[in-house]
Structures are given as C-alpha cells and as structure tokens.
Amino acid sequence: NAIQTGSTAAACSAISQAISDLPEGPRTMVGIATFDSAIHFYSLKRAQQQPLMLIVPDVQDVYTPLQKDLILPVSECRENLEQLLESIPSMFENNRVADSAFGAAMKAGFLAMKSTGGKLLVFQSVLPSLGVGSLSAREAEGRANVSTGDKEPHKLLQPVDKTLKTMALEFAEYQVCVDVFLTTQSYVDIASISVVPNTTGGRVYYYYPFSARSDPAKLFNDLRWNISRPQGFEAVMRVRCSQGLQVQDYFGNFCKRVPTDIDLPSIDSDKTIMVTFKHDDKLQENSECGFQCALLYTTVYGQRRIRVMNLSLPCTNMLSNLFRYADLETQFTCFLKQAANGIPTSTLLHLREEVTNTCINILQSYRKYCASVSSSGQLILPEALKLLPLYTLALIKSIGLRNEGRLDDRSYWISLVSSVSVLLAVPLVFPRLIPIHDLTSRGDDESLIPSPLMLNSENIREDGVYLLENGEDGLIYVGNVVEPTILEQIFGVSSLAALPSQAVLEQFDNELSRKVNEVINEIRRQRCSYLRLRLCRRGEPSGDFFRSFLTEDKAPGGLSYVEFLVHVHRQIQSKMT
Amino acid sequence: GWVRRSCGGAEAKRGDPKAARRRRRLAGPWPPPAAAAGSRPPARRRRWPPSHAVERRRRRRALSGDGGGGGGGGGSPAPGPLLPPPRALARPPPPLALVPRFPDIPVLPYSPLRCRMCRSILNPFSIVDYVAKIWVCPFCFQRNHFPQHYSSISESNLPAELFPQYTTVEYISTAETGPVVPPVFMFVVDTCMIEEEIGYLKSALAQVVELLPDNSLVGFITFGTYVQVHELGFGLLPKSYVFKGTKEVTKDEMLDQMCFFAGKRKPTTGVIAGTRDGLSSESIARFLLPASECEFVLNAVIEELQKDPWPVPADQRASRCTGAALSVAASLLGVCVPGSGARIMAFVGGPSTEGPGSIVSKSLLEPIRSHKDLDKDSAPLYDKAVKFYDQIAKQLVHQGHVLDVFACAVDQVGVAEMKVAIEKTGGIVVLAESFGHSVFKDSLLRIFQSSDNDLGLSFNGILEINCSKDVKIQGIIGPCASLEKKSPLSSDTVIGQGNTSAWKMCGLDKKTSLCLVYDIAKKDGSNTIGQAASNQFYFQFLTYYQHHEGQMRLRATTISRRWVSGSDSVQATYRWL
C-alpha cells in the first residue's frame, strides 16, 4: 500500500535530502530498515559494493541480524545510503504485501540502536496488521456506538492494550526516541500508535489522506526540521519550587518513572513541558516564590550539559493583582492540555461543560471580588482575560471536543496538544484568517503578514481568496466568483474549473503571487511548520471543513460567539444571586 | 541350479572392469535388432540439442554415460509386447556355464504387469500358459490373464521380464507418464570457523558449483549465531533471511514468515506446500534456482563468505546453531519441493552450542562429551539432541529428503547425535580434520563427478519386499526408514527396521547396501518344511526411485532359493554352494 500511494518514494526522497542536514562529526550514526510483513535491515558496511539486505521474518519475537554494521557513522556510508534510498522504491515496486509489521519494526529498530540510544524515525502508511503490537480496525467496530459517542467515553480514543506502552517504556529506558510519520489513506489507530512517540519524547506527524503530489514537500520539510532543529538527547528534567508549593503534575511527551523527574530520550525546541503546582502550605505576604527547572541532557555533539532556568515571582493576597497580571495564553494552554488529557476518559459533553464552567468561574470570581460595584446588567471582563470567552468557545468547537469528526483526527489532535507550545496553542483552536486576494492593493507594507480577520462568515466574500492557518494546516478558501485574473496570478489557472483538488502552491512571475508566497513563508518561519495546504471550495466537504473553523459563527449544535457571551453572562448572574 | 545373486552385489560389481569385459562379450552373440538400433539416434539427439555450448554438451554426455549404457541395454531385449522381436532372437537358455553372472539390466519403457492378488510383478519364475494366455504367480499361485497387448506372447516371443537371465529389470516412466524432476541441493554452510578453514571450504564449494548439473535446483544457507537463508533469485541487491539460532522453524512458520502467499489468502485447511498447493513458482525461485541460472550469484555468495560476525568471548566457544540451520533447511525444502528428491548438504566445522541439537554449552569450562560419557549415559545434552534429530529425521523422511554431513574439525562435531537423521534418510557422512584435507575434498568431488565411477546419486527410494509365504521379514539393517506398512509378511520378531514390508530410502546410490533379515514361518513341526508344495521359494524386491537423471524408475529383482531339509541341513547347504 505504501508503494502504490507513493508514500515509500516520498519517504525515501525526504530521507535522502534530509541526510545532508545531519550534523557532521564522528558521533552522528545512521541506519535504515524497511518493513512489510518482515523487517529488512541493510548492511551498508560493504564499500564499493551493493548493500546486503538482511530480512528478519519472525515478527513475533524480533531480533537484529547483526551486532554491528546496521548503524554506521554517516560519513562512512553516505554514498551507499543515498544509492540505497534511490533504489528502495523501485526495488519494492512489484511488492504486493499488504501487511505491515509496524510494532515489530519499531522493536527491531530499537534493538539495533539499543547500545547507543538515539532517534528512531518510522514511516507508516497502513494499519499495523502483523506481529507484536499489531492493531485491528477498531473504528469499524466502534461505529455502532456513534450515536452515544457524546455521552460515553470513547474506548477507541484509548490505546487498545498495553503492548505498545510497555514497548515504549523499554525504548525510553535505553534513550530511544520515536517519531512516527503517518502517510495514510485510512484509519490506523493513532490512539494506540501515539503512545510510543508520546512516551519517548517524539511526536506523530500525520498526512491524511496522503497525496503523492502535494504532501512530499511537507514530509521533507518536517523531517529536515526534525533532525536539524535545536535538540538534545538522554535528558532528565526536574522542577523545584519554594516551600509552600509543590509540583502537582507534568504534561508533555516524556517518560515518568519517579514522581519528581521526567525522562526525555529526546528534547527539542518544538516541545513544551507544562508543569502545574499546588499549595501545600501558606505563603508569606510580600515575599517571593522561587522556581527552578533543571534539564540534564546531551548535545548532538556529545557534550553533557545541565540547563538551569530560575524564576522568582512575588506573592500577593490581593485577587485584583492576580487578574491584572494574568497571562491569558499560558492559562489557556493549561486549559487546553487538561481538556485534551481528559478526552479518552470522559465524555465530550462533560468536557465541554467543564471547560465552559472554568471560564464562567473565573469571570464570576472577578465579578464577585474585583468588580462588585458594577451594574449587574453588564458582563464585566478583566482586561487581561477579555479574550477568554472567545478562546473557550474556540476550544469547545475544536477538532478535539466537537462531536463530529474522524477518530484518528481526534487522536492526532490529542497527541499534538500534548506537546504544543504556548505560542501555538491558541492558533491551534483559533486559527488566523488572512485575505490573500488583495495583498497588492493594501497599504500594509510595513508588516509581512496582513492583519487577521475575525472568524465569521461575514468576513468571507465569494469573490475573495483567504488563507486560514492554525500552525499545522493551511486552508485556502477560493470563493465561487473569484476573478479569473486573480486565479491566474495565484494558482496559474484560468478558471475555477481548472483548479486542482490538491494544492501545490507555486510562485509565478507576478506581484500577487510573490506576496502570497511571502506571506505563507513568513507564517512557516513563525510556526516552524511547513503547513499542509488544502484548497477549500464552497459546496464541497472541504468548504464545510473550512467553515467549521469560523468560531464566531453559529455551528450545528454550537452557539455563536454572541450567544456564548450571553450564556456566560446569564450563568454568572445566576451564581451571583 | 541358479547362481546366488544379491541386488547390492549386482550394483557394486557393475563398475568392475571384468564385468564390463563380460558385458562386451555377451553383446557379441546378441546383436541388437535393426529396429531397436534405429531408436537410439533420436534419443541421443533429444538428449543433446545442438544449441548447447560445447562444454555443456561434453559435461552432459559424461553425466548421462550411465543412461547411455542403460539405453544400450534396453536395445538388447524385446522392446515390449507391442513390438515382437524377430524370431531369430528366440533361443533356449544356453548351458549354465555360459550364463553371464552380471548381465546388463534392461530398462523397459512401459508399466509392469502385476498379479491381481499379491501385486507381484511378472518375472522369470512365473509359470506361463502360452495357449490360454495365463500366467501363474510364483508367490501366491494366483492365475492371472495376460492383458490384450500381451496377446502375441509365445514361447518364441517373450517380453524381457520373462527372460530367464533377466532376474532384475527396470521400468522407466515415459514422457507421458511422468516428468523429469530436477535434483535439489541445499548447501548448509558453517561460518563459525577460522579464516583458513573458511577459505578451504570456499574453494571446495566453488569447485562443486562447477560440477552441479545444469538443471539441478540449488539453495544456500549459512549459519553461525544465526541462520541465513540466501535469496539466490534476487533482483536489485543481495538478500538473506535471518532466523534465530535458538529456535527451530516449522514448515507452517516458514510459510507465514517467508511470504510464500504474497498477495494471496492463505488456505485455511489442508497441508500446504509446493507449487501444486498454491505456492507460486516465483516465490520458490527466490531460494531454489537452477544451477545454470544462479551460478554467478552462487559464486558471489560463496566468495563473500565471512566468519560469523558475532564476537566470541575468550572463555567461550563460538555460537554455532547447527540444529536450527538444519531445521530451517528441512522446513524450507518441505515448503518448496516436498516429494521431490533433495539433499541437504551440511558442512560443519565444530560442535553445536546454540539452540536445538546442541551437544555442549558455550563455556569452555565444560568439556565436550566423550565416548566414555556416551557409554555411561552421562552426557547431559545427548538425549535431548538425539530427540531433536530424530524429529528432523521424521520430517525429512516424510518429505523424501536426504541429510548429508561433512564434518571437518579437530574437535567433536556431534555426528553421534545427528546419526539418526543421516541414517534414516540415506545420507552420506564424511569425517576429516580439516576442509583442506584430501579426504573431504576428494569425497565431495566424487559426489558430483560424472564419470564411469560416479556414485549415481538417486532420490526418493521406496523398497517393497514380497516373498513366499514360508518366509517372514524380520527387518532391514541399513540406511532406510520404515514406512510402517503392516503386512502378513512381517515377522513378529523385529531386527533393525521391522514390522513393515516397505521402507523409505530418501537417498540411495550405486553403493547403497542393506542387510535384510528373514525368519522362517513357524509351523506345527519343523519337518513339515520338507513337505512344502515345492522346494522353491522366491523373493521379489521392488525399488521405486528417482533416478539421478530425473525420471522415476521401478527396479524389480526376483530371486529364488531352494529349501534343504534334514539334520544335515548345514552341511547340505555348504555342499550346494
């Protein structure tokens, strides 16, 4: 299946190009294996000769066929590796094996690098069907329960069993980090698969439905950034705080064996660890509270380092100070991660109510203790938290908490939220909407990115072209009456009918095209993400998908922004009496 | 007054120069008829197409020397009932002194005529009524009618099987009745040896590759810590399938793990193996390839043989998984060519220390079992290893495959444990101190040499014995395995392989020798033997086998003996001799 959809060719091409970005030096080692119903290792040691393929057919009790020569310094085998990567797609061109021994392949890769630890990158395109850690198409079994999905926790959002978790714990113990690239056309049970990257400091990359035309560019850029971004290995992190407080919980992609530390086989600039605290004693008035985060890690050049961050915050017993200095983005990120954490074990309805009540309680506290002199007929929002209701509504309508949606999409969202940074948490649920059809006629030349529009239908005109990006996806909405001139300039087509369904944005020789690409590239830099571009048209499922992000609109089963504000206000009023 | 002859004796003496001279003298008074002579050129032309290379033609001629002789012999007797020979051929038997002691064995290109009661084959001792077209079986005295195509039989017109001097005849299947089956050679090569020994072995194997018959199928397995099955039919780069040395591999596991049903659904019931059971020729051709097609690849694999890459601590023996390797070889042959003649040729350079069939642990502190240990039953691993090889023996006998062992080591290797598998499958054992020793090198070449002294290696032998009811079969001592065919001919007393009237000889050749032990059927009194209906009693030996040229053949040998009676029986026997 990976062969037919072009996933294998895309992966090999991405790897081949990305190898040149690996850090130089004797400590950088690389190895490669392929798998279907068996695992194929390649011995690259034989310089000037063809690599030798060593096949491990036993996928229930996995082993490595050699002790050495499976992973070599990149400088020694670069040429052989590049030739091999070029050969793999044609080598397997006639392969009709539909099975995948994904779990066994991960285990085998782990065994090959067990003595050194490191990063294991796995490319997978179908549901793992064979060997240790194989999965079944639970989605089909779960469809019968879709009518009650809103009221019962989804077992399908939990890992199917402990096999992959057990495997992941062993990986982490030997400092092996797993990143999984899913280039798939169907259900692959991300709820189960994501356990491994989430436990080992890695992540899931998800390309659904994989397009051999438009996705290879993102796959390559994701992979290149994955191996070249600032990162460390073999990390242990501990957070300490002053007396009176204690660490309550850690959130993120790591392995936690003891209460005080977290182990991260890999840590990088895209990962965020959230730490919550709780009181265990009274804090002294007018004193300061100290926090220290210490991270012990190894650089890609082999240095062992400790990175220490110290923070001191003043204590206060005045609630108005708390509201004055509130950090909305951080606070919202906390709500987001806690909600995502609860999805596999709670009902969506309950979670949405919980999120809403958190918002209401915050605003009610403000009203009660800080703004009691105001008129009861007015909704009072603290200045620092005035966007809290909007973000809360966006979260309720997000992929993770909305009723409708594919299981793997929701599981992927949960996995993504686990390590999302503060900067990217808000865009993930409250994307940025930018018109790109009139970039040349605007006067905003000072800023590379135009001011975003509010997320409602009134801002969408059918003669316009809009980009909606959440840091991960980029949706390009093309109205039904866009001028042919604009289509020609941006997409290189003369009519709407000629627009391909899969977007590959090229730069053409005109001002508008140049500006459009400038905007998108600047967003990519800001997000450290390539964006997965998709064209959306009105009257098509893609158009409906686009409109599902217009948070302020009234949605099926959801309130509009105005309605939500009214709802919040009424709840506050009822609590005040 | 017939001279005593044994089947083995006839075989052994066939290459004797004196016998050859006698054969030539015999041919003098019996010139072949013109019609028979006319049939030889077409066969020769068919056997040697002119398009073949000169070297190959030369080799093939040498290979088929014995077949040519057989063809010549076939020309001497009547070609069959349908083609009565000229009257001039018919003569009364010559005086005893002129009867050749070792006549050529005629090869008859038609099916044998059997007694409808006891299934014995028409033979010189059958009593024939030429007028009524009836023959009486000398074993059970059943009267049988000749079929229509024998209607021309008369005292002056006899089929070859009735010639008095042809107590042994061979029936060959025609092109319509049976295909030519290529022999299969599966090399299983030990790599846990010092470089020098590996060099010797490589040299010997390279010579063998030159001598392999062009149409024979070849497979190659190496073993050390792990078992590697080399894919000789690879496309883009060399491949090996790697199995753990600690586990034996069943045929079902082989089917599952080696993609023999690639792209197809595996049948859920029945025994599955071979092309007739759904396996594709392509999947089999990955591992078993005609010698003419894989000579280059095979030479490359042999040339690149390396010492087992796994490190051996100074206080330990190498990890040598002989048992697992033989298990893989047996299962692979069972999957690919069940029922076709095949030889596993194992080249072992030391004791088995890993996995099933181990004879000693890896620790050098533990000495290898000695003869005294075996005698005192104090070798801890012996019984378990013998049990394992007994299981391998059963599997190989069931498949019709042979195990040969070439054990070249200063140390013990474990032939005592393997003996049961070699013996029951009719295999060959060669012991030497080194793979560079002439005992090994010359013995190995002898197996593949095509000359007047070739061994005539054959496969898939089944020996059935029929005898007069006064005699019972106690058993056979020799390289064979019982097929457990219950029969009233079996004696209650068992010597060797008994309780049957049929035996399997997976491998047999010109020098194969069996010792048959008989019992005299008990009656009321010993004196009643003298009162038997006749003083004559008879044996018929039927040997079905796959000739080294690939056809299935049936060799029928019928002999008679005379009872002697009285208290002076021993003396009388001597006098008679």
Banded model confidence at residue A79, pLDDT cuts 50, 70, 90: confident
Across chain A, mean pLDDT equals 87
Banded model confidence at residue B281, pLDDT cuts 50, 70, 90: confident
Residue A4 confidence (pLDDT) above 80? no
A473: number of Cβ within 10 Å: 16
Banded model confidence at residue A23, pLDDT cuts 50, 70, 90: confident
Strand partners, A186: none
What confidence tens digit (pLDDT) does each residue in B40-88 have? Answer: 333 333 332 333 333 333 333 333 333 333 333 333 333 444 444 443 4
Between chains, do A97 and B262 touch, taking CB under 8 Å as contact? yes
- Nearest-angstrom CA–CA distance, B320 and B368: 14
Q: Which of helix, strand or coil describes residue B453?
A: coil
Between chains, do B263 and A97 touch, taking CB under 8 Å as contact? yes
What does the pLDDT read at residue B12?
34
- pLDDT higher for A123 or B340? A123
- Tell me the pairing of strands A274-279 and A245-251: antiparallel
What does the pLDDT read at residue A475?
92
Put simply, whether A4 touches B (Cβ < 8 Å) is no
Residue B31 confidence (pLDDT) above 60? no
- Give DSSP secondary structure letters for B166-177: -SEEEEE--TTT
What does the pLDDT read at residue A287?
85
Check: CATH 2.30.110.10 for A7-228? no
Put simply, whether B313 touches A (Cβ < 8 Å) is no
Residue B27 confidence (pLDDT) above 50? no
What confidence tens digit (pLDDT) does each residue in B297-318 have? Answer: 888 999 888 789 889 999 989 9
Among A34-43, A357-366, A437-446, name the one with the lowest average pLDDT.
A437-446
Residue B136 confidence (pLDDT) above 90? yes
Banded model confidence at residue B461, pLDDT cuts 50, 70, 90: very high
Sign of CA dihedral B287, B293, B294, B297: negative
Helix (H) or strand (E) holding A183: strand A176-183
Q: Which of B237, B242, B253 sits opposite A56 (nearest CB)?
A: B242
- Nearest-angstrom CA–CA distance, B421 and B404: 9
Residue A111 confidence (pLDDT) above 70? yes
- Are residues B47 and B59 in contact, defined by beta-carbon separation less than 8 angstroms? no
Between chains, do B236 and A97 touch, taking CB under 8 Å as contact? no
A290: number of Cβ within 10 Å: 14
Contacts of B367 (CB under 8 A, 6+ apart): B360
CB < 8 Å from A in window 212-251 of B: 226, 228, 234-244, 247
- pLDDT higher for B449 or B353? B353
Cα dist from B96 to B2, B21, B377, B452, whole Å: 8, 19, 56, 30
- Give the mean pLDDT of B455-467: 87
Among A305-309, B268-272, B418-422, name the one with the lowest average pLDDT.
B268-272
- Nearest-angstrom CA–CA distance, B503 and A79: 59
Q: Which of A52, A63, A68 sits opposite B240 (nearest CB)?
A: A52
Put simply, whether B257 touches A (Cβ < 8 Å) is yes
Using an 8 Å CB-CB cutoff, list chain A residues near B258. 38, 57
Q: Which of B253, B257, B310 sits opposite A38 (nearest CB)?
A: B257
Banded model confidence at residue B1, pLDDT cuts 50, 70, 90: very low
- Nearest-angstrom CA–CA distance, B172 and B165: 20
Among A7-11, A295-299, B257-261, name the one with the lowest average pLDDT.
B257-261
Banded model confidence at residue B511, pLDDT cuts 50, 70, 90: confident
What confidence tens digit (pLDDT) does each residue in A143-197 have? Answer: 544 444 555 566 788 898 889 999 999 999 899 999 999 998 889 999 999 999 9
- Give the mean pLDDT of B9-23: 35
Between chains, do A55 and B240 touch, taking CB under 8 Å as contact? yes
Number of H helices, E strands in chain A: 18, 18
- pLDDT higher for B177 or B174? B174
- Give the mean pLDDT of B121-148: 90
Strand partners, B518: B473
Banded model confidence at residue B568, pLDDT cuts 50, 70, 90: low
- Are residues B78 and B85 in contact, defined by beta-carbon separation less than 8 angstroms? yes
Q: Which of A37, A58, A69 sits opposite B243 (nearest CB)?
A: A58
Strand partners, B221: B188, B229
Q: Which of helix, strand or coil describes residue A35?
A: strand
Fold entry, domain A431-548: Severin (3.40.20)
Q: Distance, in angstroms, between B243 CA and closest chain A CA?
A: 7
Q: Which of A368-377, B27-36, B382-391, B514-523 has the highest mean pLDDT?
A: B382-391
Between chains, do A87 and B236 touch, taking CB under 8 Å as contact? yes
What does the pLDDT read at residue B276?
52
- Give the mean pLDDT of A138-145: 59
- Give the mean pLDDT of B250-276: 65
Q: Distance, in angstroms, between B392 CA and closest chain A CA?
A: 21
Q: Distance, in angstroms, between A555 CA and closest chain B CA?
A: 46
CB < 8 Å from B in window 78-137 of A: 84, 87, 90-91, 95-98
Q: Which of A38, A54, A96 sits opposite B263 (nearest CB)?
A: A96
Name which of B479, B280, B316 is nearest B397 in CA terms: B479
Domains of chain B with bracketed CATH: 1-82 (no CATH), 184-448 (3.40.50.410), 457-573 (2.60.40.1670)
Residue A476 confidence (pLDDT) above 90? yes
What CATH number has the domain spanning A232-315? 2.60.40.1670
What does the pLDDT read at residue B156?
86
Domain boundary assignment for chain A: 7-228, 232-315, 328-402+558-576, 431-548
In percent, the amount of chain B with pLDDT more than 70 equals 71
Using an 8 Å CB-CB cutoff, list chain A residues near B309. 66-69
Report residue A493 as tokens. Answer: 């087509």
> DSSP character for A36?
S
Put simply, whether B410 touches A (Cβ < 8 Å) is no
Banded model confidence at residue B478, pLDDT cuts 50, 70, 90: very high
What does the pLDDT read at residue B148?
79
Banded model confidence at residue B15, pLDDT cuts 50, 70, 90: very low
In percent, the amount of chain B with pLDDT more than 90 equals 32
Residue A416 confidence (pLDDT) above 80? yes
Across chain B, mean pLDDT equals 76
Residue of B220, B227, B241 to mutate when probing chain A, most A C-beta within 10 A? B241
Helix (H) or strand (E) holding A533: strand A532-537
What confidence tens digit (pLDDT) does each residue in B325-381 have? Answer: 999 999 999 989 988 899 999 999 999 999 999 999 989 988 989 978 988 888 999
Question: Could you tell me which CATH class the domain A328-402+558-576 is placed in?
Answer: mainly alpha
Q: Which of A51, A55, A97 sits opposite B241 (nearest CB)?
A: A55
Put simply, whether A52 touches B (Cβ < 8 Å) is yes
Banded model confidence at residue B516, pLDDT cuts 50, 70, 90: confident
Sole residue written with tokens 């999905």: A149
- Give the mean pLDDT of A286-308: 91
- Nearest-angstrom CA–CA distance, A533 and A503: 6
- Give the mean pLDDT of A419-427: 93
- pLDDT higher for A349 or A252? A252
Between chains, do B238 and A52 touch, taking CB under 8 Å as contact? yes
Using an 8 Å CB-CB cutoff, list chain A residues near B310. 67
